[in-house]
């Protein structure tokens, strides 16, 4: 009897195990993939449900995909530790898979989810690195739909660091390419892809307007693409909400206050009922900003205070909203002449703003620091100083006003004197650098002249038959294209190699090497390194934030793979290390 029970138990457990862990067919795998992906932005729990089904498959590729997607889902929930653990396990499984197209595709999927996770962590440079690697794999595997996704994600990174023109161009290219390969999509996949692209384009145009406020055509473009995103959003509820929010904000910028108000109030009710906490918080922030612009300050305070309460109740899930809520509350209380409250909110803003921006500044390498954020911080610092003075004047009276006035005059005089000294030292540095560049250019011209004279010698030509001969028009064309790449700062790309540039300007490496040597008097690697080092010197002189970066970060910002080779090139160019140069600038400036 006991033997019979053991046997029955074995059959039962084996059956259950077989049901819970079997190999999915390609069709089943694809359907579960689509389901899991569809819920990523709207319902993480549902995404987990479908990805757990994929993980039960005995297929290593299926399990690897499941772990990769779960690593991103855990990051969406704020669990970076679990996210990184699963991401490593996903690649451990992938190593077991034999080489081939399927392995390459899966590798690209993992890099995409790794990039998304790094993006959520604010590590934009790392995310971009993953996206670029994944895009190459997808192109080699002819996975065109995945190439579109990588292009979209790369454009998002450009948008994050303020490269809005680049982001717009990349998104438009993705849109054209998506239309070209429409035959590869089913109906739902195609509408989702079009929704995402148009949503990104609308946002990029709106953000681009923030830097070009005289060009109101950008707002018309933002409105056009956001409306298109809404049309395609039937399967993407969160994207639809985001598109409607940004459309309302676009109306606000266009001073169409009634349209903006209607959309925001509709979203306020909807996001609250659906318990979309982050979207509900952002809607409250948007309404607060709307009423602030309308100078209805009491209404604005109601919505900003709701943002603060969400921040306190939900463990800071809406950190960015909370920061800017306090920024506006400081301004409102200042207008109401309640300087104590204004000072309190300005402190909260500055403390949190600096934490957020310090992380962002570490990631924005090779682009200028966000001027609008600098302006906001300067405005709040000035306001905080003014509020302190007003509060003290209110408490101690007219006598202190006289003392404050004397101190203020003294401070202004001292600041003016200090500024003159600083300007002189800075100008000396810049002049010295320009003189060095001019000397260097003169040396190049002398070298080129000497090469030209040598080239005219028939005996030398006969002796060195291996020298390439290119007509002057072709040389000028190559030089002109090189100058265009320099103007675009293409040399900051880690892939700025002789092969890369030759392909980019549609010539061969032999011609490129010859022209660089003839026109610039140096090898291609010397030419590339000099561009990078000159860029660093200019940035360190003109950008205090850039000087605070680590040597490794600066090296990566101009395409060096490690700090050692960068330091060697920098020292050769300047005679000092990057750290010594930065310290000298800080001491001087």
Q: What is residue 397's predicted lDDT score, i.e. its pLDDT?
A: 62
Q: What is residue 426's predicted lDDT score, i.e. its pLDDT?
A: 44
Q: What is residue 64's predicted lDDT score, i.e. its pLDDT?
A: 93
Statement: residue 374 has pLDDT above 60: no
Give pLDDT tens digits for 165-196: 989 998 999 999 999 999 999 998 899 999 99
- Please give the average per-residue pLDDT across 279-297, as a whole number: 93
Q: What is residue 244's predicted lDDT score, i.e. its pLDDT?
A: 95
Looking at the domain assignment, is residue 104 inside a domain?
yes
DSSP helix/strand/coil, 295: coil
Only one residue has tokens 């145009």, namely 205
Domains: count for the chain: 2
Looking at the domain assignment, is residue 329 inside a domain?
no
- Please give the average per-residue pLDDT across 566-583, as a whole number: 86
Q: What is residue 175's predicted lDDT score, i.e. its pLDDT?
A: 93
Statement: residue 460 has pLDDT above 50: no
CATH code of the domain containing 525: 1.10.10.60
Q: What is residue 473's predicted lDDT score, i.e. its pLDDT?
A: 85
* Beta carbons of 478 and 507 less than 8 angstroms apart: yes
Looking at the domain assignment, is residue 137 inside a domain?
yes
Q: Where a domain ends, among 92, 117, 142?
A: 142
Looking at the domain assignment, is residue 530 inside a domain?
yes
* Beta carbons of 247 and 263 less than 8 angstroms apart: yes
Tokens found for residue 392: 């003290």
Looking at the domain assignment, is residue 374 inside a domain?
no
Looking at the domain assignment, is residue 533 inside a domain?
yes
Looking at the domain assignment, is residue 508 inside a domain?
yes
- Please give the average per-residue pLDDT across 543-550, as a whole number: 87
- Quote the CA–CA distance of 377 and 395 in Å, as a whole number: 27
Weakest-pLDDT range from 13-17, 36-40, 431-435: 13-17
Statement: residue 371 has pLDDT above 50: no
The mean pLDDT of the chain is 81
Q: What is residue 368's predicted lDDT score, i.e. its pLDDT?
A: 33
- Provide the whole-model pTM: 0.56
Q: Which residue has the higher pLDDT, 384 or 50?
A: 50
Give the pLDDT band of residue 67 (cuts 50, 70, 90): very high
Q: What is residue 85's predicted lDDT score, i.e. its pLDDT?
A: 95
Cα dihedral sign for 275, 276, 279, 281?
positive
Statement: residue 338 has pLDDT above 70: yes
DSSP helix/strand/coil, 86: helix
Q: Which domain holds residue 583?
A: 472-588
Give the pLDDT band of residue 392 (cuts 50, 70, 90): low
Q: What is residue 116's predicted lDDT score, i.e. its pLDDT?
A: 94
- Name, in order, each residue with C-beta under 8 angstroms of 221's C-beta and a sequence gap of 6 or more: 201, 202, 205
- Name, in order, each residue with C-beta under 8 angstroms of 130's C-beta and a sequence gap of 6 or more: 111, 112, 114, 115, 118
Looking at the domain assignment, is residue 31 inside a domain?
yes
CATH code of the domain containing 39: 1.25.40
Give the pLDDT band of residue 7 (cuts 50, 70, 90): very low
Give pLDDT tens digits for 289-331: 999 999 999 999 999 999 889 888 877 667 788 888 889 998 9
- Quote the CA–CA distance of 42 and 156 in Å, as a whole number: 19
Q: What is residue 542's predicted lDDT score, i.e. its pLDDT?
A: 84
- Please give the average per-residue pLDDT across 148-160, as a whole number: 90
Q: Where a domain ends, among 116, 142, 168?
A: 142
Statement: residue 82 has pLDDT above 90: yes
Weakest-pLDDT range from 6-20, 467-481, 554-568, 574-588: 6-20
Statement: residue 376 has pLDDT above 60: no
Give pLDDT tens digits for 202-260: 999 999 998 899 999 999 999 999 999 999 999 888 899 999 999 999 999 999 999 99
Q: Where a domain ends, among 142, 159, 187?
A: 142
């Amino acid at each position: 009897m006991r033997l019979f029970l053991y046997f029955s138990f074995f059959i039962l457990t084996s059956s259950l195990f077989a049901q819970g862990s079997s190999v999915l067919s390609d069709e089943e795998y694809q359907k579960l993939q689509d389901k899991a992906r569809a819920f990523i932005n709207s319902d993480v729990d549902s995404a987990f449900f479908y990805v757990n089904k994929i993980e039960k498959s005995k297929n290593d590729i299926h399990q690897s995909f499941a772990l990769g997607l779960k690593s991103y889902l855990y990051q969406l929930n704020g669990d970076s530790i679990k996210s990184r653990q699963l991401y490593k396990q996903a690649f451990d499984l992938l190593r077991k898979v034999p080489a081939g197209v399927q392995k390459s595709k899966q590798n690209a999927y993992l890099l995409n989810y790794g990039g998304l996770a790094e993006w959520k962590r604010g590590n934009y440079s790392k995310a971009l690195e993953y996206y670029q690697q994944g895009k190459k794999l997808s192109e080699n595997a002819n996975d065109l739909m995945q190439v579109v996704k990588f292009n979209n994600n790369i454009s998002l990174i450009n948008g994050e660091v303020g490269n809005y023109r680049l982001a717009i161009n990349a998104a438009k290219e993705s849109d054209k390419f998506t239309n070209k390969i429409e035959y590869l999509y089913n109906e739902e996949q195609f509408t989702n892809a079009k929704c995402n692209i148009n949503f990104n384009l609308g946002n990029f145009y709106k953000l681009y307007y923030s830097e070009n406020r005289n060009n109101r055509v950008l707002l018309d473009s933002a409105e056009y693409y956001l409306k298109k995103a809404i049309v395609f959003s039937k399967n993407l509820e969160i994207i639809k909400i985001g598109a409607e929010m940004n459309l309302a904000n676009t109306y606000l910028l266009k001073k169409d206050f009634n349209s903006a108000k209607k959309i925001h109030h509709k979203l306020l009710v909807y996001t609250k009922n659906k318990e979309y906490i982050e979207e509900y918080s952002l809607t409250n922030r948007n309404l607060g900003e709307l009423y602030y612009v309308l100078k209805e300050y009491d209404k604005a305070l109601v919505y900003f205070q709701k943002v603060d309460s969400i921040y306190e109740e939900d463990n800071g899930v809406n950190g960015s909203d909370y920061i800017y809520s306090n920024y506006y509350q400081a301004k409102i209380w200042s207008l109401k002449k309640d300087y104590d409250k204004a000072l309190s909110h300005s402190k909260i803003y500055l403390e949190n703003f600096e934490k957020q921006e310090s992380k962002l500044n570490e990631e924005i390498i090779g682009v200028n620091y966000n001027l609008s954020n600098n302006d906001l911080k300067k405005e709040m610092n000035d306001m905080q100083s003014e509020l302190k003075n007003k509060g003290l004047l209110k408490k101690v009276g007219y006598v202190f006003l006289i003392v404050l006035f004397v101190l203020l005059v003294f401070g202004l005089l001292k600041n003016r004197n200090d500024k003159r000294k600083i300007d002189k030292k800075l100008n000396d540095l810049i002049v010295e650098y320009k003189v060095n560049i001019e000397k260097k250019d003169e040396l190049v011209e002398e070298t080129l002249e000497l090469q030209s004279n040598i080239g005219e010698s028939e005996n030398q030509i006969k002796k060195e038959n291996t020298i390439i001969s290119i007509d002057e028009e072709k040389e000028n064309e190559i030089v002109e294209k090189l100058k265009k790449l320099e103007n675009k700062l293409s040399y900051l790309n880690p892939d700025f190699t002789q092969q890369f540039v030759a392909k980019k300007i549609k010539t061969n490496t032999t011609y490129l090497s010859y022209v660089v040597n003839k026109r610039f008097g140096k090898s291609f690697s010397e030419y590339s390194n000099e561009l990078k080092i000159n860029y660093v010197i200019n940035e360190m002189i003109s950008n205090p934030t850039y000087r605070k970066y680590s040597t490794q970060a600066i090296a990566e910002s101009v395409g060096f793979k490690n700090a050692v080779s960068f330091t060697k090139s920098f020292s050769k160019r300047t005679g000092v290390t990057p750290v010594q140069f930065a310290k000298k600038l800080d001491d001087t400036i």
